[in-house]
Amino acid sequence: MAALLEHESQIFLELFHRDGLVVCARGLGIDRLLLRFLRLYCEPASLVLVLNTSPAEEEYFIDQLRSDGVVHLPRRVTNEIANNTRYEFYTQGGVIFATSRILVVDFLTDRIPANLITGILVYKAHRIIESCQEAFILRLYRQKNKQGFIKAFTDNAVAFNTGFCHVERVMKNLFVGKLYLWPRFHVAVHSFLEKHKPEVVEIHVAMTPAMLAIQTAILDILNACLKELKRYNPALEVEDLSLENAIAKPFDKTIRHYLDPLWHQLGAKTKSLVQDLKILRTLLLYLTQYDCVTFLNLLESLKASEKAFGENSGWLFLDSSTSMFVNARARVYRIADEKLNQKGKGSGSEKRDVKKENELKRELVLESNPKWEALREVLKEIENENKNSDNLGGPGQVLICASDDRACAQLREYIITGAEAFLTRLYNKTFGKDEKAGEVWIKDRKAMKSKGNAKPDTGPQAKKAKLTASSKQNKQKKQQDRTLIQMIGKSEEEKREEVEVEDDKELSGSQESTTEETIPEDFDFSLPSDCYYGIFKDPLTIIHPLQGCGDPYALTRVLHEVEPRYVVLYDAELTFVRQLEIYKASRPGKPLRVYFLIYGGSTEEQRYLTALRKEKEAFEKLIREKASMVVPEEREGRDETNLDLLRDARPASVSADTRKAGGQEQKGVQQTIIVDMREFRSELPSLIHRRGIDIEPVTLQVGDYILTPDICVERKSISDLIGSLNNGRLYAQCVAMCRYYKRPVLLIEFDPNKSFSLIPRGSLQPEISSNDVTSKLTLLTLHFPKLRILWCPSPHATAEIFEELKQNHPQPDAETAMAVTADSEILPESDKYNPGPQDFLLKMPGVNAKNCRALMTHVRSIAELVTLSKDELAKILGNAANATQLFDFIHLTYAEALAKGKSKR
């Protein structure tokens, strides 16, 4: 691991001496800081827990420490480690990664030696809200251990921008009193990185007129959709729904944040507008990221699907939409028929249902992506520099970064085969039915070649001709820029890459050898990431995606392993740009040149600038908040004065009852609730514990919460309720609860942010239908008369209800609760009847839940029931009609039953 940089050492020392929350700018190396703390505590003498890390991140940290020669590496606690060996596992010390669910249960059952914990490191601390599991762990830890440290890290300053005093609430949940802010504009960071600046070449690529026209059209439509959305929902008149924010990445989250609580009340128009905004944002992304064929394919598929569904979205009829379709098609082909062009240049070319004769006379244009040309120039420049690079110690490695897998695959194929060959293949694959258009284009190309080279080529076979023409052209092109392609061997020219991940994987003719097969022989690099796309071997040139890798640190690993001298940013991403600054600063004296390709005046540039501005504004807000923040002395919870550590929810205003022994404090029994292990994914156990009730985590077969020996609760969220009503799971759960507990309860818990109703207003149906949730619930209550339903608007309300239900009742026993399984024959002592015959009896006509008990008390078995007369039955059941029904059912012969059945037909 490289030594810490100047500002990183400063952050490390500040946090080491005084616990706190560090908020760092994106990409400034918060992971390097955490790694330094991990390295410090990787020894058996200390026990440090790390919260909020994903398995991929844990893997990365362990790998980095291993390569650094650390002996006592961090360990992971998983379900595979048996409960009885956990205590021993923890006492071995060192750094431990564990999921929050395991840690909560271990703290509650004292499987973890809380007093021996040196401290807790919290990663991604912006997620620590009051109701999450990590906050519960920190509270349990602080209740049992007053000495240990809590240090928290995050690089997401924008997350603190929402809500009132967000950062203060997070610090309260973390039990830390200090806030350390390290934005990119911090004096120490700025001055240090200025000294070690990489050489940056910014290339503002101009968009083609067609691309500009399409971008303007999409922005016009986006604006119209936003206005329409505000018109339908006046409550949404917020600055967040501006056009600038609409093109930024987190816009989907923003709009969901506003509309989710009232989603079920929204009309179809609003919902379709939200969907349209999503589609339009995707179109903007495709325009700058991929080629003209991919963009047109997406656009045409949109129109086709709208027609198929018969629901035309409003924006398809706007003038801007027409101009978008015209320009998108003009980038790929033009209609060759002159008469058609004369009829109407605008209207003729964009009609989808043009007659087939005209459609066949398309001439392919296949506009190349302007960024591709810029990339070609950059690679040529690097190639020329690498020829004269002896004074730098040989040619430098090249790393090209594009946004995702698809963009990387397209770039690779473009660099190897050239723009024309690549776009032709893509066109044939996407719009392959249109054979004649290709032929026209090939004839056109041949004519041009024969003029230039006097080498006419015959063979107008559709696909073969296409391939030969394109490969010839390619060879010609490669003859000119031999320096660029380096002629890795003739076979490389014929290689093709399957670009479209989503499309069906079929290649034509000689294109069947995909790169997946050829990479192992040519590119046998032991790179840490498997997401890269190799191009040249000498000097090593690879393309790597910025997002979409399974390993979040894939690019970081590649950067440090390949150590490129040239980095080409085909797509800009804030975090990686900062990462490159840190990478350069950590290797002083070694040259690094960064080429920054960006479309001038495009939404891509605007998106990057908006991300920068948002982060800067977030830090400015945090600085203001920090200046006016009041942190109480007991915030860190190192003594008993912190009220957050108290476990009693009774308000101070509740007066003592003077009737009971003159108001003396009563010594109550410690309340206990038995909770199923799987329930620790929800926030309810944390809230119950906060109310001063002890929790016993066990694995329950029947129910989720056992409040008393008689009360068993099955908790369902709305989505879970609908799912288990549909698949019949809830019925089985209710059968088991009703059989083994006197008071079975179904708890339906709503989301506190959404409205407290099961169905939208005004959609209550008068008829009972099998698809309706309320109808199914009604049937459930009819079927299980013992079952009680609790409606709770939030988990806080649930915890309060649980406390009230437990008052003056005995405490449940964990062993008894665990012994109850859905098919166990052990019955509660109060129940002296066998469940099998009882179920059978309830199915008989005339027997219901009310008279079933009386019948079972008087009659020993079903065999005895058969011998009873009608009068005896009437006396037992207390109802002559029910007795007649039951008697007739028992004494009906098979022949009579058959005859009855036939007569009914």
Query: pLDDT tens-digit profile of 480-516?
Result: 333 333 333 333 333 333 333 333 333 332 233 333 3
Q: Which DSSP letter does residue 495 get? A: -
344 has a pLDDT exceeding 70: no
Taking the C-alpha atoms of residue 292 and residue 333, their distance in angstroms, rounded to an integer, is: 10
The sign of the torsion formed by the CA atoms of 645, 648, 651, 656 equals: negative
Measured from the Cβ of residue 314, the count of other Cβ atoms closer than 10 Å reads 15
What DSSP string describes 251-262? HHHHHHHHHGGG
| pLDDT value, residue 483 | 32
Sequence-separated (6 or more) residues with CB below 8 Å from residue 577: 27, 569, 594
Higher pLDDT, 36 or 336: 36
874 has a pLDDT exceeding 90: no
Calculate the CA dihedral of residues 310, 314, 316, 321 and round it to 10 degrees: 180
Q: Which DSSP letter does residue 216 get? A: H
Alpha-helical runs (H) found in 454-553: 462-480, 482-485, 491-494, 515-522
pLDDT tens-digit map of 780-823? 888 888 899 999 988 989 999 999 999 889 999 888 888 887 66
Average the pLDDT over 703-732 and give the result. Answer: 89
Average the pLDDT over 168-197 and give the result. Answer: 91
Q: How many residues does the chain have?
A: 905
Buried b (16+ CB within 10 A) or exposed e, 210-229: bbbbbbebbbbbbebbbebb
Taking the C-alpha atoms of residue 559 and residue 554, their distance in angstroms, rounded to an integer, is: 9
Buried b (16+ CB within 10 A) or exposed e, 608-643: bebbeebbeebbebbeebbeeeeeeebbbbbeeebe
270 has a pLDDT exceeding 60: yes
Task: Give helix 462-480 / helix 419-430 axis angle, nearest 10°.
Answer: 160
Taking the C-alpha atoms of residue 418 and residue 497, their distance in angstroms, rounded to an integer, is: 12
Tokens 């929204």: give the residue.
266
Q: Which helix (H) or strand (E) holds 598?
A: strand 593-599
Contact 321, 224 (CB under 8 A): no
Q: Token digits for 264?
A: 């079920």
Tokens 């128009």: give the residue.
269
Nearest Cα to 692, choosing from 712, 674, 672?
A: 672
Single-letter code of the amino acid located at 481: D
Average the pLDDT over 667-673 and give the result. Answer: 80
Burial class (CB in 10 A: 0-12, 13-18, 19+), 367: middle
Highest mean pLDDT among 461-475, 583-597, 661-675: 583-597
| pLDDT value, residue 248 | 77
Contact 564, 589 (CB under 8 A): no
Query: For 691-703, what is the HEC assignment?
Result: CCCEEEEECCCCC
Contact 25, 17 (CB under 8 A): no
Lowest mean pLDDT, pick from 62-76, 239-253, 693-707: 239-253
pLDDT tens-digit map of 831-851? 556 667 777 787 788 887 777
CB half-sphere exposure, 314, CA atoms < 13 A: 17
Contact 693, 668 (CB under 8 A): no
Highest mean pLDDT among 1-15, 433-447, 700-714: 700-714
Local confidence band at 5 (pLDDT 50, 70, 90 cut-offs): confident
Higher pLDDT, 473 or 231: 231
pLDDT tens-digit map of 427-437? 888 887 555 55
Task: Give helix 718-726 / helix 773-783 axis angle, nearest 10°.
Answer: 70
Burial class (CB in 10 A: 0-12, 13-18, 19+), 469: buried
Taking the C-alpha atoms of residue 378 and residue 416, their distance in angstroms, rounded to an integer, is: 15
Q: Which whole-number Å values give the CA distances from 149 to 108, 176, 509, 519, in the listed order? A: 20, 9, 66, 49
Q: Token digits for 559?
A: 């950067």
Higher pLDDT, 442 or 489: 442
Q: Token digits for 761?
A: 């207003």
Query: For 814-858, what is the HEC assignment?
Result: HHHHHHCCCCCCCCCCCCCCCHHHHHHHHCCCCCCHHHHHHHHHH
Contact 315, 344 (CB under 8 A): no
Taking the C-alpha atoms of residue 313 and residue 311, their distance in angstroms, rounded to an integer, is: 6
Which percentage of the chain shows pLDDT scores above 70?
78
559 has a pLDDT exceeding 80: yes
Taking the C-alpha atoms of residue 623 and residue 635, their distance in angstroms, rounded to an integer, is: 20
Single-letter code of the amino acid located at 704: D
Nearest Cα to 566, choosing from 369, 380, 411?
A: 380
Sequence-separated (6 or more) residues with CB below 8 Å from residue 43: 72, 93, 94
Lowest mean pLDDT, pick from 307-316, 487-496, 545-554, 626-635: 487-496
pLDDT tens-digit map of 405-419? 889 988 988 888 888
pTM of the model: 0.77
Q: What angle do CA 20, 23, 29 make, to 5 degrees?
A: 110
Single-letter code of the amino acid located at 162: T
Contact 5, 187 (CB under 8 A): no
Return the SS3 of 121: strand
Single-letter code of the amino acid located at 27: G
| pLDDT value, residue 311 | 56
Taking the C-alpha atoms of residue 478 and residue 434, their distance in angstroms, rounded to an integer, is: 29
Average the pLDDT over 242-246 and give the result. Answer: 80
Local confidence band at 736 (pLDDT 50, 70, 90 cut-offs): confident
| pLDDT value, residue 760 | 59
Tokens 């040149």: give the residue.
593
Q: Token digits for 107?
A: 């703290």
Q: Token digits for 249?
A: 């990445």
| Beta partners for residue 791, in sequence order | 748
Burial class (CB in 10 A: 0-12, 13-18, 19+), 234: exposed
Nearest Cα to 790, choosing from 844, 845, 713?
A: 713
pLDDT tens-digit map of 381-404? 998 888 887 777 778 889 999 988
99 has a pLDDT exceeding 50: yes
| pLDDT value, residue 243 | 81
Alpha-helical runs (H) found in 418-497: 419-430, 435-453, 462-480, 482-485, 491-494
Q: Token digits for 857?
A: 């008390």
Burial class (CB in 10 A: 0-12, 13-18, 19+), 795: buried
Q: Token digits for 404?
A: 């995702």
446 has a pLDDT exceeding 60: no
Q: What is the chain's mean pLDDT, rounded?
A: 78
Contact 89, 131 (CB under 8 A): no
